[in-house]
Amino acid sequence: MKTIVTITGIRPDFIRMSKIFNKLDQAEWCKHILIHTGQHYDNLLSGIFFKDLNIREPDFNLQIGGAGKKHYHQQAELGTKVIELFEKENIKPDLILFLGDSNSVLASVPLRKEGYAIGHIEAGMRSYDERMLEEINRKVCDHVSNYLFVYHNNYKKKAMREGIDENKIHVVGNTIIEPLTEIADLDYVGNKKHIILDIHRPENFKYPDRLKKIIQFANFCNESTKIPVKMLRFRGTMHSLEHNDIDIGNIETIELMGYKNFIKFMQDSLFIISDSGTAQEEPALLNIPVIVPRDFTERPESVLNNNSTMLSVNDTTGFLKALKWATEERHRDCAWLGDGNASDEIVKIIKECLL
- Beta bridge pairs of residue 56: none
- Beta bridge pairs of residue 198: 274
- Beta bridge pairs of residue 34: 6
φ, ψ at 41 (rounded to 5°): -120, -15
Provide the angle, in degrees to the nearest 10, between the axes of the packed helices 235-243 and 208-225: 100
What is the DSSP secondary-structure string of 138-162? Answer: HHHHHHH-SEEEESSHHHHHHHHHT
Q: Which of 120, 200, 239, 331 is catalytic?
A: 200
Q: Is 73 a catalytic residue?
A: no
Spell out the residues 6+ positions from residue 108 whose beta carbon is closer than 8 angstroms to its own. Answer: 96, 98, 118, 120, 140, 141, 144, 145
- Nearest residue to 52 via CA among 25, 24, 14, 100: 14
Sign of the alpha-carbon torsion through 27, 33, 38, 43: positive
**Calculated CA dihedral for residues 98, 100, 106, 111, nearest 10 degrees:** 20
| Active site (catalytic) residues | 200
